[in-house]
Amino acid sequence: MVQDKYVFQLESTFETNVPMPVVTIEPSHVDIIPYELGVEDTITFKITNHGLLRANNVRFSLPEGHPYLKFKTVIDDIGGIEANTTIMVPIKTTLKPRQKRIPVLGAYVYVLTLLSDYYCDGWKTIGIPVIFCPHGRIFTYAGSFTQRRV
């Protein structure tokens, strides 16, 4: 008697379209040194909504307390970002009145957060951090996005 042997190999790809905004921002890390030295004064962010729903009330939470820089949005009201859309948004940096610059020993990090809202069984807010760090060092951000219900 001859016994049959079979080998089955199952390959699958799972793809889904999430019915919510999926917002990304580039760059996610910014070398802050050229701005502190006054060499550069504008950071332009590429914000993309890869999701299927509009991201509403898009706004920045700007870092405060930087010893040498002030941050200001150039666009006062970004508004919303439609599904599958990309926009460019500049942030202006200005040097605070001249004071003695003291070298900082160790690393210091400031975080700008991009916030947007969407409605799914109540209003929710998504926050995406952008890390400002010296000399382009990459740090792991241990924060998380927030959700709120209204």
Q: Please report the pLDDT score of residue 147 as a whole number.
A: 42
Q: Please report the pLDDT score of residue 127 as a whole number.
A: 92
What's the whole-model pTM score? 0.73
- Give the span between the Cα atoms of 117 and 20, in whole angstroms: 10
The candidate with the shortest Cα–Cα distance to 76, out of 90, 56, 86, 93, is: 90
CATH of the domain spanning 23-136, picked from 1.10.357.10, 2.60.40.10, 3.20.20.70, 3.40.50.2300: 2.60.40.10
22: enclosing H helix or E strand = none
Burial (CB count <10 Å: 0-12, 13-18, 19+), residue 47: buried
pLDDT of 100 strictly over 90: no
| pLDDT tens-place string over residues 111-138 | 889 999 998 888 999 999 998 877 655 5
- Give the span between the Cα atoms of 45 and 91, in whole angstroms: 8
| pLDDT tens-place string over residues 56-65 | 999 999 988 8
